[in-house]
A and B are shown apart, each in its own frame.
Chain A
Amino acid sequence: MKLIEKAVEWGTRRSPWIIHFNAGACNGCDIEVVDAMTPRFDLERAGIIKQGSPRHADVLVCTGAVSLQIRDRLVQIYEQMPDPKFVVAVGACACSGGIFKDCYCVEGGIDAVIPVDVYVPGCAVRPEALIAAITQLLEKLEDKEERGRLLAAQKVKKEALAAVRENGGAEYGE
């Protein structure tokens, strides 16, 4: 039993499948995300594959400030991913809202809605920064303490999310 758990943990570190989601970005970061997937950077070396379906993915690569329009969809996509799952916020807007912060139609950064594990600042980010972020996430997972902290923080945020949705979802639209 112990051996299988170890193998699973090893596998989680060696094969992060990513899904890319645009939560309201200007498309600058999106192009950089696509850029990072090209043969030049060869992310398959680290086992990274881009998936289309959230059910297949482990890492949600999210760009842009969260607009009110996309907020519920972002939560939906996040909830469609099976655990364990991780979120990478790509770009200044995704980290904090960027220049759209406090705009009338913007909720804020990605972490205003779902738990974020890695922040990648930049406008737009460089593909190298994105690759460094994902490899850092994987290194974090290697350390047992860090891994526990990461998953615990996710859990707290997720419970808060569930509570908000249960309370009629006034805050999260119909």
Chain B
Amino acid sequence: MTKLLQILLFPGLLFLLAYATTMEFIDRKLYARLQSRQGPPWYQPIADFFKLIGKKTLIPAEANQRMFRAIPLFSLTAVATAFLYIPVWGRQAVVSFEGDMVVVLYLLALPALSSFLAGWYSRSLYATVGATRVLTQMFSYEVPLFLSVLAPTLLSGTWSLSGNMAFFSRHPLLVLLNLPAMVSMLISVQCKLERTPFDAPEAETEIVSGPLVEYGGRYLAFFHVAKDCEVTVLLSMFAALFLPFSMGTPWVDFLLYLLKTGLLLSLTCLVRAVTARLRINQIVSFCWRYLLPPALLQVVLNLMVRGWIL
């Protein structure tokens, strides 16, 4: 019973939705301030959501009706499930088992895939171009992301996020060893979230809005919520892996969690504000040339440290 409440209310679904909404507001407000303007009021994401919920649903005649309706839910469900494995209240996640990091990584691959399918089943030219770009981009960031997420586990010897958090809380100095993977993951996370400079799949000035071009009304609202949740979940995962500093008291750790994710969000927002969009081929070559080597280096480094010191 407590488990169910934890999954549905705190720190599960409800908290995720509330926090993701807040994160979107902070992101937009900060972005506006960086452009020296006032920015949206605090209720803006909520107003957008309700507006979209109330709009009439239009589905293109050529689109696959059933898939068109189901895909936004896939995306949201996968992200919300992944959040359960991430420690928020204290060092222990709601659910955890040996190897949950792999599950989380695969669940987090689903939003990109569903975005691809959304574009594909829309049967629209812009959507199809966007969908192929989503997939192309996915093939470039997934490898550095997986390597840099799994590299710290070579030190801790466990493939569970909660286990990693516990290990690195005991040995905080070892986090410094993971710096190359940290940088690599921070950039590939932004690539995964399709934020500027990696927003070629959306690129509203060239392909309107990519895979979501035919979506409107409540299905678009679900996609937006899924996107916000994805931002939150990925940043939380980053915080749990590379900034695993915790005091041991649950509420202090929770405050620390809010602080860490807030700082990470500000950092990614800064990157979004000061960069321009890269072309898709530039993204691919950037990921393979500059994100993969640090991640590989990290694997080698951690293996050596593991063999000689620990």
Contacts and interface: CB of A to CB of B under 8 A. Distances in A.
Interface stretch (B11-19, B70-78, B209-217): B209-217
Contact of B49 (A9, A11, A39): A11
Given A7-B50, A11-B48, A44-B28, A83 B40 contact: no
A15 B38 contact: no
Contacts of A47: 40-41, 44, 47-48
A7 B205 CA distance: 32
Given A8-B54, A42-B38, A82 B43 contact: no
B121 to A, nearest CB: 15
Contact of A14 (B28, B43, B56, B213): B43
Given A44-B28, A55-B213, A83-B56, A39 B36 contact: yes
Contact of B208 (A40, A52, A58): A52
Contacts of B52: 11
Interface in B118-162: 126
Interface in A25-49: 39-40, 42, 44-45, 47
Interface string A3-19: 01101111110110000
A80 B51 contact: no
Contact of A44 (B32, B215, B217): B32
A7 B213 CA distance: 25
Nearest to A79: B58
A45 B54 contact: no
Nearest to A14: B47
A55 B216 contact: yes
Contact of B214 (A7, A42, A51, A55): A55
B55 A84 contact: yes
Contacts of B217: 82
A165 interface: no
B98 interface: no
B35 interface: yes
- B interface, how many residues as a size bin? 35 or more
Interface string B96-125: 000000000000000000000000000000
A45 B39 contact: yes
Given A53-B208, A80-B58, A11 B38 contact: no
A93 to B, nearest CB: 26
A21 to B, nearest CB: 13
Contacts of B39: 42, 44-45
A82 B40 contact: no
B37 interface: yes
B44 A56 contact: no
Contact of B55 (A9, A42, A53, A83): A83
Contact of B220 (A10, A44, A45, A56): A56
A34 B281 CA distance: 30
Nearest to A84: B55
A53 B50 contact: no
Contacts of B38: 42, 44-45
Contacts of A45: 37-41
B276 to A, nearest CB: 16
Given A55-B213, A80-B58, A82-B56, A42 B37 contact: yes
A80 B37 CA distance: 32
Given A4-B50, A56-B220, A82-B57, 10 more contacts: A11-B52, A42-B37, A44-B28, A45-B41, A51-B204, A52-B204, A52-B208, A55-B213, A55-B214, A82-B58
Interface of A: 4-5, 7-12, 14-15, 39-40, 42, 44-45, 47, 51-53, 55-56, 58, 80, 82-84
Interface of B: 28, 32, 35-41, 43-44, 46-58, 126, 204-205, 208-209, 212-217, 220
Going nearest first, the 3 A-B pairs with the smallest beta carbon separation are A8-B54, A11-B50, A11-B51
26 contacts: A11-B52, A11-B53, A15-B44, A39-B32, A39-B36, A40-B37, A42-B37, A42-B38, A44-B38, A44-B40, A44-B44, A45-B37, A45-B38, A45-B40, A52-B204, A52-B205, A52-B213, A53-B126, A53-B212, A53-B213, A53-B214, A55-B58, A82-B56, A82-B57, A83-B55, A83-B56
